[in-house]
């Protein structure tokens, strides 16, 4: 995971191990791009179920600390973005 861009608003853009982009926003959101696309992102913040009198809805948990947002993205990278052995660029392959 490598930092490659910091925007004027303070958003940190990282390139993940598998080539996707991860972004940590100052608002507390952490998002990751869809594979093979750099324009579509999905949120990886935890969801909280809020129950009202007649229904329920889901709300995203915001991460207020910058280092915690980066750590959350690193944990996502370590558990979901590792290359498969068939994707390694090896010299002595097949």
| 48 within some domain | yes
* Residue 80 falls inside a structural domain: yes
pLDDT at 37: 81
Q: Residue 94 falls within a domain, yes or no?
A: no
Count of domains forming the chain: 1
Instruction: Judge whether residue 62 has pLDDT over 90.
Output: yes
The pairing of beta strand 12-15 with beta strand 21-24: antiparallel
Domain contains 64: yes
Note if the pTM is more than 0.85.
no
Which residue, 50, 43, 33, is CA-closest to 72? 43
Q: Is residue 91 part of a domain?
A: no
pLDDT, tens only, 4-51:
999 999 999 999 998 899 999 999 999 999 988 878 999 999 999 999
**Residue 68 lies inside a defined structural domain of this protein:** yes
pLDDT of res. 11: 95
In a domain, 89, yes or no: no
Q: Which domain covers residue 26, as residue numbers?
A: 2-84
Helix, coil or strand: residue 48: strand
In this prediction, residue 15 carries a pLDDT of: 94
């Amino acid at each position: 995971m490598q930092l490659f861009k910091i925007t004027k608003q303070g958003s940190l853009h990282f390139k993940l191990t598998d080539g996707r982009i991860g972004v940590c926003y100052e608002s507390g959101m952490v998002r990751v791009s869809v594979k093979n696309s750099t324009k579509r992102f999905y949120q990886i913040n935890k969801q909280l179920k809020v129950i009202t009198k007649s229904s329920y809805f889901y709300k995203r948990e915001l991460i207020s600390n910058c280092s915690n947002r980066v750590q959350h993205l690193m944990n996502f990278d370590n558990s979901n973005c590792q290359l498969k052995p068939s994707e390694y660029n090896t010299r002595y392959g097949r």
